[in-house]
Amino acid sequence: MREISDSTVEIVTEKARVIRRDIIEMLGKAGSGHTGGSLSAADIMACLYFWELNLDPLKPDWDGRDRFVLSKGHAAPVLYASLAERGFFPREQLGTLRKLGSPLQGHPDRKKLAGVEASTGSLGQGISWAVGMGLAGKIDAAPYRVYALLGDGELEEGMVWEAVMAAAHYRLDNLVIIVDNNGLQIDGPIKKVMSPEPIADKFRAFGCETIAIDGHDPRAIMDALSCARQVSGKPTAIIAATVKGKGCSFMEDRPEWHGVTPNTDEVQRALAELG
């Protein structure tokens, strides 16, 4: 188990704050996109990109790199903010989100932007990509690990469970599935739309080592990722309890912020709250 120092927690916490600010600013400029689910995943992404993932921004196609797949592809702003902060492209480019000709499309496109491993958006397909990457790693005896971030509403897709079943069947202990469990989707609470609960029990039943955590606690996130590295013979599923719109009080736990962007006044209010 890797040691998690107080200074590391402070660094990751600050990165999450910067990522949230970038999300607000780029969505405010774009005037369209997905706010709530991007903000809820910021702490998870900060822990991945600034502590866990073995990457080199100067060699984005390096064979030995870890792979990250944003299965909830509509939350592309949190991926773009993380990639820019990690050095994959200039931060100034964030202002081009959803602009004509920009590589920062509404959903990630692996052919247009370095650091994007899979073109995602159709829910359920990202985790299927990740399982394929994990299986390829096993066949090639490659050292890399694969991480996939799913939304809890995405778990309503049947192909998610086919992919998880395959991951367990092929004993993909190089695969970590993370669920951004904010409890809301575009049409309302997941429990009312089409409940995937009990989420942890389902992943456990499908053959995963399952860990439930607070998805806004960097130390808990990093500890879970460390535990996943010790797992042998099966994939790990981390169920991260989060709040949609986290960090902006007027957005938090409100489903209407799923696919709505802040206006000028709301951008300033959000940035003031984020510090």
What angle is formed at CA 79 by the lines to CA 76 and CA 80, rounded to 5 degrees?
A: 85
Say whether pLDDT at 64 is over 90: yes
C-alpha 146: how far from chain center: 12
The conformational region for residue 141 under phi > 0 = left, psi -120 to 50 = alpha, else beta, is left
Query: Which of 73, 235, 233 is closest to 165 using CA atoms?
Result: 235
The mean pLDDT of 202-214, rounded to a whole number, is: 98
Q: What is the pLDDT of residues 18-30, one digit of tens each?
A: 999 999 999 999 9
What is the predicted pLDDT for the residue at 1? 78
Q: What is the pLDDT of residues 240-270, one digit of tens each?
A: 999 999 999 999 999 999 999 999 999 999 9
The pTM score is 0.98
Q: What is the pLDDT of residues 165-191, one digit of tens each?
A: 999 999 999 999 999 999 999 999 999
**Can you name the CATH fold of 6-274?**
Rossmann fold (3.40.50)
- Amino acid at residue number 31: G
What is the predicted pLDDT for the residue at 18? 98
pLDDT band at 211 (very low <50, low <70, confident <90, very high): very high
Burial 60-79 (b: 16+ CB within 10 A, else e): beeeebbbbbbbbbbbbbbb
What is the predicted pLDDT for the residue at 2? 85
- Average pLDDT of the chain is 97
| Residue 46: CA count within 13 A, CB half-sphere | 29
